[in-house]
Amino acid sequence: MNSDQSKEELAEKKTSGVDGSIRIKSGLRISVNDAGDEIFLPVENTQFIEDFYEMLDIFYEINKNIKSKAGLEKSEMVKSVKEDIKKLTTEFDRLFGDGCCQKVFGSMVPSPYVIADFFDQLIPIINQYAGERKARIAEKYGPNRQTRRRNKKKRRQQS
């Protein structure tokens, strides 16, 4: 076998069976600190969406519990809230990836106010992504698709 044949066979092996490629965006990468650390939100995973809203519900329950513990001694109230927050931060790491809390909050056990701030900044990003995705889908597959195709074809014919 000469060197030309082996190069051709190698090229054929590399492309054999592959007629194209598909890349599907499954989520969002979000920068969470000045060091450039990121978390990944698999927003196209319906289980993630369900778990995310369940985590929000847990957070709202923690806030209700804080208000109900107003009569306790300050140290007892803080201990109780701290335990609830630790459970929530475990969910953060499970949902957004190991090390999420370290990246977002540092080495502290975050207060409910800091967690609320996180959600306040995160939710608009998710909503913006969902809105843009909805608009792209409507543009691509909406009822005006045929009209746009015809107009595009006419413009090409006129050029």
Q: What is the pLDDT of residues 28-46, one digit of tens each?
A: 999 999 999 999 999 999 9
**42: amino acid identity, one letter:** P
- Identify the CA nearest to 66 among candidates 91, 52, 83: 83
Strand locations in the chain (E): 28-31, 38-41
Q: Are the C-beta atoms of 91 and 47 separated by less than 8 Å?
A: no
How confident is the model at residue 33, as a pLDDT?
Answer: 93
Round to whole Å and give the CA distance between 21 and 49: 27
Q: Which of 15-29, 79-93, 110-124 has the lowest mean pLDDT?
A: 15-29
pLDDT digits (tens, 9 = 90+) for 48-84: 999 999 999 999 998 888 777 777 777 888 888 888 8
Could you tell me the residue ranges of all domains in the chain?
Answer: 46-124
Mean pLDDT of the chain: 84
Round to whole Å and give the CA distance between 86 and 116: 15
